[in-house]
Structure 1
Amino acid sequence: MPAFLSFGKYAAWQKSLYIKLLCLFAFVEIRCLVHAAIVELSHPASNTTPSGLIDPSFVGFSVEWTHVDDALGPGPGANTGVDYSSNPIVVNLFRHLAEAVAGYPPTLRIGGNSATRLWWQGSILPRLSQSTWSVNAMELKIIQEFASSTGSRMVLTVPMLSPDPAYAVEFLVKGVIPNLSKDHILAIEIGNEPDHYEKNGRRPPGYSFNDFTKEFTVAYNAIVAAIGPGFDYQGPSYAYPWTSDYMIPFIQGQRGTKYISFHKYGQRGCSTATNPDAVTPLTLLADPAPEEYVWIDSLVQVAQAGNQDVVWGEGGSSSCNGTAGVSDTFASAIWTVDTLLEMAYRNVKYTSLSGAAQTYYAPYSLDPVTGRMSPRPTYYGMLMVNRILRGAGSTLFRASLDGGWALTGNSIKTWGVNNTATGEMTLVVIHKSPAANATSFTVQYPYAFSALSNCTSSQQPKGYITRLEAPALNAKTGVTINKQTWDNSLDGHPIGAYTEEIVEAQGQMFTFTVQQYSIVALRIGCTPGLPARSYTPPPVEPVNPGFTPVWGTPNPTPSADPDAPLKTEQRTLGKYVGIGVGAAVLGLACALALTALVRKRRMKNDGAIPTPRTSNAAARHPHPFAKRNPYLYAYAGEVV
C-alpha cells in the first residue's frame, strides 16, 4: 500500500529579490513553491536501494594531536605534565551521544596534519625540522582515561614525515602501547593527506601515488612486525587530488588495511588558491548537492569485496578550521545531519567530524580562561542523527518526494529509516528552503500496525516527533532538540526535560508541521522517549590512583599554534577602537585595494567561462569555484 504525504497550504511567496536570485541559482527549485506531493515511506525512491545496516557508532569525532590537551583534557597544562585526567564535561557530551543510540559510544580519530609532524618526546631518532609538535606520555594517558570513561575506541594516526618507518614504530612501541590499552584502539592510521605532501614541502617535487604506496607498504610491514598481530589499520586519508584516480588502486593493493579513509569538507573556508567565493549560511545549506556523493558507491563496492570498510576519516562544514559565522552557527547543524545521512546511505562505516575545541567547525568549544566546554550547533546535529538511528538494526532509504528524490532543488529532503529489530519506521524531513515557511505533512503508515514488534496487541502505535530547531539560521545559541539545550550547562548535561511530541494516529494517518530551517523526525512505534537498551562500556581503568583533578579553576590561555583558528586581529580588535577615524580611513583604503585584487583574480579564474559571471549564474553550481577545479565538486579539499 503506498503512503501519501500531502503538504498544507502553499507557503507564502517571499517577494524579496534575494530569494528570487536564490531560485535562479538553483539553490531551490525555480518555482520555489512547496506543493502537494507523494512520498513512499514503505520503500525507497525509484532507482535506489536501501543502505546496509548502519553501525550504531557511525557518528564520531576527529581531533588533532595538537588538541588532545584542550579537546579531551583539562587544558594546556597536560602538555607540561600538570594534569592528565580527561575533561568530565566532554565525557558527558560523548555519553549523551551514546545514550541517544542505545549506548554505543562514538569513535574518536586522533590525527590530522599534526600527526604527520608529530614528535615523540624521548625519541632517540634525529628530530626533523617539520616535527613541530611534541606528544608525551601525559597526553596518551589523557586518551587512555577518556577511552575508559566513555567506552570510545580510538583511531591513532602515526607520524609519516619521514619515509623511514622507524619514527612511526618508535611512537607505537615506546609511546602508545605502554600507555593505551589495546582494547581502546580501533585502528592505527598510516598516512594523512599524502596527496598534499609535495605541496606542503614534506616530499620532493614529483612525489607520486606509487611513491606513497611503497612507503605505506614498508610502514605497514614494519609496524606489524614491531607490535604484532591483532590490530586493524586505516588509510590512506587522501585529501582530494588522488581520490578520483587512486583510491580504488589503493584498496586493491592494500587488502590488509581494514578501514579505507578519505577526507571531505563541505566548502572551502580559507584557501585563497581555490576559494574566491564567500562561505555563508545559505551556501552551506546548498551543500551537499544531490548525488554529490555517488562516487563513494564504487569505493564501497570494491572495499566490501575485500572485507574492508570505507570511512569518512576527517571533515567539517568548511575547511581550514571552519568559517566564523557559518561553521559555528545553526546552519552547520543542518549541514551535519544532511551530510551524515548522505554518508550513511552510501554505506560509509563510520564518520569523524573534526572536533578540535579551538576551531570554528568543532562540535564543542573551549573557554581558554575557565576551561569550560560548550556544545556548538554541530554537536546538536550529531546528536540528532543518533536519535534518528536509535541503535543497531537501522537502514536508511530515500523517501520519495514529488515522485522522485530531492525534486525541490535540494531545499527539502526526506529520508526514511527502517529499524529491522523493532519494525519502527521514521520519516526525516530536512527543511532548508529559504522560500517556504512552516509546512504541514500528512503521512500514512503503509503496513499493518501488527508489524511493529515493540507494540503489544493492546497498544495503538503513535507518532513520536524529534525536532532540531534554533531561533535563526545564523544562531550560535538557542539550539534545542525537543526543547533541551546545552546552553550554560556547567557539566555537559542538557538543561530541560527531554519531551517527545506525540502525534495520535487518525486511522493510519499522522500529521505534523515542519518549521523553516529545521529538521523533524517522525518515528512510528510504541516506545516513547530515549531507547531503553544500553551498552556497558569497559570498566574505568584509573591511570593515576589517588589523583583528584580540580575543575572550574582558571587554566592558562593556550599558546597560539598553526592550527588555531582565532586570528590575532579578532582577539585584539577591541583594544584599538580609540584609534577612530584614522583606522577607519586606513581600513577603507585596504578594503578598496582588496576588492580590486579579488575582482581581478575572479576574472582570471573565470577565464574558461566564455560569458560574464552574471549571465551564466543560473547554470552554475551553487559553489562557483567548483567549476574551476575538477576535484572540488566531488571531493572538497584543503583541510587543517
Structure 2
Amino acid sequence: MRLLLVHSFLSAFGIVHGAVTVYGPHVQQPLGSQTVTAPSASYTGAATYDQTVLTPPPVPNPPPPTSFGVQLQTGGAATGLSIPQSGAFFGFSIEFSVVSQVLGLNSSFMQVPFLNLMANLRERAGSVQVRLGGNSQETATLVNSIPDGKSMEKDTVNTSNPTDTPPLLFTPEIIKMMASISALTNVRWYLGIPFYDTSNFQLQIAEVGEAILGDYLIGLQGGNEPDLYSKHGHRPSSYSPQDYTNEFGLLVNAVNADPNLPDKDILIGPNLSGTWEPEQVWDTGFATDYSQSLITLAVEHYPTDNCYAQYGTGTPRNPQDMFPTYLTHKSGQDIVSPYINSTGYAQSLGKPFVMFETNTASCGGFPGLSDSFGAALWGVDYALQMAYVNFTGALFHVGGQSDYYNPFTPPVTNQSTFHQWTIGPIYYSALFVAEALGSSNQSRVLDLGMNGGNEFTPGYAIYENGEPTRVALINFVSDPTGASDYTASISLAGGSTPAQVKVKYLSGSSVAQKWNFTWAGQTFGDAFTSDGRPVGSIDVQTVTCDQANGVCNVKVPAPGAALVFLSDQALEESDPGPTMTFPTTAYTKLHNTATIDPSALATSNGNMGTADWLAGTSQGSLENSASGFARALPSLGAVIAGALLVVRMAYAS
C-alpha cells in the first residue's frame, strides 16, 4: 500500500510532454499589409493560412453609374450567344502530387470533405470535371505496389522544374479511389500520360485508367505545357511547335498499337501555357492530322505569376499593386482574347476547347489577393467570360500548402486531428457558376456589356431554348458606405414582365475580405473550419417587379454578385435541394486536443515556446529533448523527496 502511495504520488505529478504551436501569418514576408492580432507570436504555418489582408482599391473616379437598364431579348431574338454549355463547365485541376492529401489515401479511406465539396456541385450541375495532373504528372510512374504499402510516394530529393516538382510512384489504388469517388459524386476525370520521355511512353496509367474508370475517364493529356519544356530543361532550346506535333504523333502511334487501350480517341492537346500561340500548333496540322485521336483541344493559362516570391525566379510583383488589375471585367476579357480564334477553330473541327489549368497566378498565386473575396468575384466573371467566348470547360488549379489560390485545402497532416479544411474564394465562384448555368446542359451565355460597358459592373444573361432564364450581375467596386451599390432594372423585350424574380447573392464585406464569404446566406466559414458542407440557412431573396413599367429592379452591393432567376423553373434547375453528405468511420485521434483562439494563445504563455517547458501541450516534446529532461530533474527530485517524506511519515505513524 505504501509503495502504491509513492507510485500514485509520482503519477499525479507526471511530467506533461508537449509544446504549443501558434499559427498565424506566413513565414514569407509578402508585399502587403497584414492584420496583426498578436505581435509577439511567430508564424510557421502554410501559405493557405497566411493572414495578409490587402487594402481595397479606392472607388473608381469617375464612379460607375449606379442605376441603369438591362434589356433582354426574348423569343429567340437574342444574338451573340455562346454555344450550349454544361452546368459542369467550372471544374478543377488537382496537382498529381497532392492527390493523397486532397482525394484520400485509397479506395477505402477517402477524404470526406472532398466528397462533400464535389456533392455540392453535383447537385447543382449534375456532374463535376476534375483533372489530376500538372507538372507532377510528367514524372509519375504507375507501379503494382510500393514496399511500405502506400498508394503514392514522392521523391522529394530529385525534384525538377522551377516549382520543385517531385517524381512520383503510385499504384492502381489511386485509380480505384477515383472510381469510388465517381460512384458517389459523379466526378468525371482527366489524366495525363508522362511526356518527358517520348522513346518509352508509360501507357500503364492509360490502361489502368480506362479499365477501372470506364466512362468516368474523359480523356488523357499528352504533354503538360510543352511550350515550357525547353525553358525548364526538358528539351533543347530549339524545341518548336513542329517538334511537339511530331512527338504527339509518336504518342498516337503508341496508343494505337496498345491492345490494352480499347478507346484510342481519348487524347488531349496541345495544352500550351501561352509561350507559343495556339495558331503556331494549328499550322503544323496538329488538330487535323490527329483528329481521330483527339477528344478535346486544350490550353492552360494564368494571367501572371508570383514565381519570384516563391522560387526567386522571374519578376517581383507586389500583390497590392496587382490587386486592382483583377477587379475589372477587362481581366477576364484580356485572358481569353488570344484564344477566341482557337475556340472557333475547335468548333469547325467538332472538338471541345477546354482551359485545362488556370487560376489567379502561377507559382501559387498572391497572398491577400488569391485568397480574397475579390478573387471570388474575379473567378465568376472570368469563368462566365470563358463560357461566353466558347470554351467548353475551365479547370481551376488546386496545389499544395504553399499555394494561395486553392479552391479548397486540407490541413497539413500533423494538424488533421484538430483542424478541418479551408475553403477558398474560387470554390464559391464554382458554386455561383454552376447555378448560373444550371443542369440542363443547354445554357447559352451572353456578355451584356451593360451599364455602358463599364468595366467594374459586368453582367451576363443565360439563355435556354432562346429565352432568358438567369442573369448574373457583378459589382467589383468596394465601398462600405453603400454609395456604390447599383440597381439594374431588368426588362424583357417583347415578353411579359414576371410578378417577381428570385435572387441569390455572393457576399463579402470588402474585396479584401478573407474567408467567411456567403453564397445565398451559407458559408464554409473561416480557415480550418469546414467539412465541405455549407453552414447556415439558404437565403433566396424575392424581388417584386414593377409590372406597370415592365422592370425588375435588382440591387447589387459594392462589392458583390447577384444571380437573378427569372422564373421558378430556372431556380428549380439550379437549386441543390437536399445534398447527399458523407460520414467518416476513420478514427485517428488517439489523444484529446484543445482548440484555442490563436490571438488569445499568442498573448498568453503560448508564445513562450519552450521557455516554459512545463506548460507544453503537444505530445512527445520532452521525450525528444535532452535539455528538457535536464531541466526536469530538479523538479522531479523535489517530487520524489516529497513522496519519500510521505512514506516515512506513514511508517512513523
Question: Given that residues 72 and 468 in structure 2 are in contact (C-alpha distance below 8 angstroms), is that contact kept between their aligned partners in structure 1?
Answer: no
Structure 2 residue 431 is the aligned partner of structure 1 residue 391? no
Matched letter for residue 219 of structure 2: A
The alpha-carbon deviation at position 438 of structure 1 amounts to 1.4
Question: C-alpha separation between the residues in 1 aligned to 2:319 and 2:610?
Answer: 27
Question: Given that residues 278 and 342 in structure 2 are in contact (C-alpha distance below 8 angstroms), is that contact kept between their aligned partners in structure 1?
Answer: no
Structure 2 residue 294 is the aligned partner of structure 1 residue 257? yes
Matched letter for residue 241 of structure 1: T
Matched letter for residue 213 of structure 1: T
Match of 1:614 in 2: none
RMSD: 3.6
Match of 2:128 in 1: 106
Question: C-alpha separation between the residues in 2 aligned to 1:72 and 1:139?
Answer: 9
Structure 2 residue 132 is the aligned partner of structure 1 residue 92? no
Match of 1:370 in 2: 416
Aligned to 1:64, which of 95, 100, 109?
Answer: 95
Question: C-alpha separation between the residues in 1 aligned to 2:378 and 2:235?
Answer: 35
Structure 2 residue 490 is the aligned partner of structure 1 residue 443? yes
Aligned to 1:471, which of 500, 506, 509?
Answer: 509
Name the SS for the 1:334 alignment partner: helix
Match of 1:6 in 2: none
From the superposition, tell whether residues 202 and 443 of structure 1 become closer, same or farther in structure 2 (CA, over 3 Å): same
Question: C-alpha separation between the residues in 2 aligned to 1:259 and 1:431?
Answer: 34
The alpha-carbon deviation at position 114 of structure 1 amounts to 0.3
Match of 1:340 in 2: 383
Match of 2:84 in 1: 53
From the superposition, tell whether residues 478 and 194 of structure 1 become closer, same or farther in structure 2 (CA, over 3 Å): same
Match of 2:271 in 1: 237
Structure 2 residue 562 is the aligned partner of structure 1 residue 520? yes
Question: C-alpha separation between the residues in 2 aligned to 1:206 and 1:577?
Answer: 56
Match of 2:63 in 1: 32
Match of 2:648 in 1: none
The alpha-carbon deviation at position 365 of structure 1 amounts to 1.4
Aligned length: 501
Question: C-alpha separation between the residues in 1 aligned to 2:120 and 2:289?
Answer: 39
Question: C-alpha separation between the residues in 2 aligned to 1:22 and 1:514?
Answer: 18
Question: C-alpha separation between the residues in 2 aligned to 1:553 and 1:137?
Answer: 28
**Correspondence list, 1:473-492, <5 A:** 473-487=511-525, 491-492=531-532
The alpha-carbon deviation at position 197 of structure 1 amounts to 0.8
The alpha-carbon deviation at position 134 of structure 1 amounts to 1.6
Q: Deviations over 1:503-532 (max 9, x none)?
A: 112213211211111111222113485538
Structure 2 unaligned regions, length at least 5? 1-53, 147-154, 161-165, 592-606, 612-653
From the superposition, tell whether residues 123 and 225 of structure 1 become closer, same or farther in structure 2 (CA, over 3 Å): farther
Question: C-alpha separation between the residues in 1 aligned to 2:438 and 2:464?
Answer: 9
Matched letter for residue 493 of structure 1: R
Q: Deviations over 1:342-395 (max 9, x none)?
A: 100011111111023533211111112217323211111110111111222211
From the superposition, tell whether residues 515 and 22 of structure 1 become closer, same or farther in structure 2 (CA, over 3 Å): closer
Match of 1:432 in 2: 476
Question: Given that residues 74 and 494 in structure 2 are in contact (C-alpha distance below 8 angstroms), is that contact kept between their aligned partners in structure 1?
Answer: no
Matched letter for residue 300 of structure 1: T
Question: C-alpha separation between the residues in 2 aligned to 1:411 and 1:129?
Answer: 42
Question: C-alpha separation between the residues in 1 aligned to 2:255 and 2:587?
Answer: 39
From the superposition, tell whether residues 552 and 123 of structure 1 become closer, same or farther in structure 2 (CA, over 3 Å): closer
From the superposition, tell whether residues 364 and 295 of structure 1 become closer, same or farther in structure 2 (CA, over 3 Å): same
From the superposition, tell whether residues 528 and 257 of structure 1 become closer, same or farther in structure 2 (CA, over 3 Å): closer
The alpha-carbon deviation at position 43 of structure 1 amounts to 7.3
Question: Given that residues 319 and 367 in structure 2 are in contact (C-alpha distance below 8 angstroms), is that contact kept between their aligned partners in structure 1?
Answer: no
Matched letter for residue 523 of structure 2: T
Question: Given that residues 67 and 488 in structure 2 are in contact (C-alpha distance below 8 angstroms), is that contact kept between their aligned partners in structure 1?
Answer: no
Matched letter for residue 162 of structure 1: D
Aligned to 2:303, which of 250, 257, 266?
Answer: 266
Matched letter for residue 192 of structure 2: T
Question: Given that residues 241 and 280 in structure 2 are in contact (C-alpha distance below 8 angstroms), is that contact kept between their aligned partners in structure 1?
Answer: yes
Name the SS for the 1:288 alignment partner: helix
Question: C-alpha separation between the residues in 1 aligned to 2:478 and 2:532?
Answer: 33
**Correspondence list, 1:305-384, <5 A:** 305-356=348-399, 358=401, 359-368=403-412, 369-370=415-416, 372-384=420-432
Match of 1:531 in 2: 573
From the superposition, tell whether residues 149 and 156 of structure 1 become closer, same or farther in structure 2 (CA, over 3 Å): same
Question: Given that residues 61 and 109 in structure 1 are in contact (C-alpha distance below 8 angstroms), is that contact kept between their aligned partners in structure 2?
Answer: yes
Match of 1:632 in 2: none
Question: C-alpha separation between the residues in 2 aligned to 1:501 and 1:189?
Answer: 43
**Correspondence list, 1:415-430, <5 A:** 415-420=460-465, 423-430=467-474
Question: C-alpha separation between the residues in 2 aligned to 1:219 and 1:232?
Answer: 12
**Correspondence list, 1:450-465, <5 A:** 461-465=499-503
* Seq. identity, %: 21
Match of 2:546 in 1: 506
Match of 2:226 in 1: 194
Question: C-alpha separation between the residues in 2 aligned to 1:35 and 1:532?
Answer: 28
Matched letter for residue 397 of structure 1: L
Question: C-alpha separation between the residues in 1 aligned to 2:534 and 2:575?
Answer: 20
Question: C-alpha separation between the residues in 2 aligned to 1:148 and 1:277?
Answer: 43
From the superposition, tell whether residues 43 and 319 of structure 1 become closer, same or farther in structure 2 (CA, over 3 Å): farther
Match of 2:73 in 1: 42
Match of 2:616 in 1: none
Question: C-alpha separation between the residues in 2 aligned to 1:444 and 1:166?
Answer: 57
Name the SS for the 1:323 alignment partner: coil
Structure 2 residue 238 is the aligned partner of structure 1 residue 206? yes
Match of 1:5 in 2: none
The alpha-carbon deviation at position 463 of structure 1 amounts to 0.8
Question: C-alpha separation between the residues in 1 aligned to 2:74 and 2:339?
Answer: 22
The alpha-carbon deviation at position 41 of structure 1 amounts to 2.2
Matched letter for residue 439 of structure 2: G
The alpha-carbon deviation at position 480 of structure 1 amounts to 0.3
Matched letter for residue 416 of structure 2: T
Aligned to 2:282, which of 248, 255, 258?
Answer: 248
From the superposition, tell whether residues 576 and 323 of structure 1 become closer, same or farther in structure 2 (CA, over 3 Å): farther
Q: Deviations over 1:183-203 (max 9, x none)?
A: 210111111011111111111
Structure 1 unaligned regions, length at least 5? 1-17, 451-459, 541-547, 556-573, 579-640
Match of 2:345 in 1: 302
Question: Given that residues 144 and 172 in structure 2 are in contact (C-alpha distance below 8 angstroms), is that contact kept between their aligned partners in structure 1?
Answer: no
The alpha-carbon deviation at position 262 of structure 1 amounts to 0.6
Question: C-alpha separation between the residues in 2 aligned to 1:203 and 1:523?
Answer: 51
Match of 2:27 in 1: none
Matched letter for residue 463 of structure 1: V
From the superposition, tell whether residues 70 and 533 of structure 1 become closer, same or farther in structure 2 (CA, over 3 Å): same
From the superposition, tell whether residues 479 and 490 of structure 1 become closer, same or farther in structure 2 (CA, over 3 Å): closer
From the superposition, tell whether residues 40 and 576 of structure 1 become closer, same or farther in structure 2 (CA, over 3 Å): farther
Q: Deviations over 1:13-59 (max 9, x none)?
A: xxxxx999978xxxx5x523425544332279x99711111122211
Question: C-alpha separation between the residues in 2 aligned to 1:216 and 1:318?
Answer: 28
Match of 1:414 in 2: 459
From the superposition, tell whether residues 176 and 35 of structure 1 become closer, same or farther in structure 2 (CA, over 3 Å): closer
Q: Deviations over 1:113-161 (max 9, x none)?
A: 001111223599xx99967222222322222221222111101011112
Aligned to 2:177, which of 132, 142, 151?
Answer: 142
From the superposition, tell whether residues 36 and 264 of structure 1 become closer, same or farther in structure 2 (CA, over 3 Å): same
Question: C-alpha separation between the residues in 1 aligned to 2:356 and 2:379?
Answer: 15
Question: Given that residues 71 and 490 in structure 2 are in contact (C-alpha distance below 8 angstroms), is that contact kept between their aligned partners in structure 1?
Answer: no
* TM-score (normalizing by structure 1): 0.71
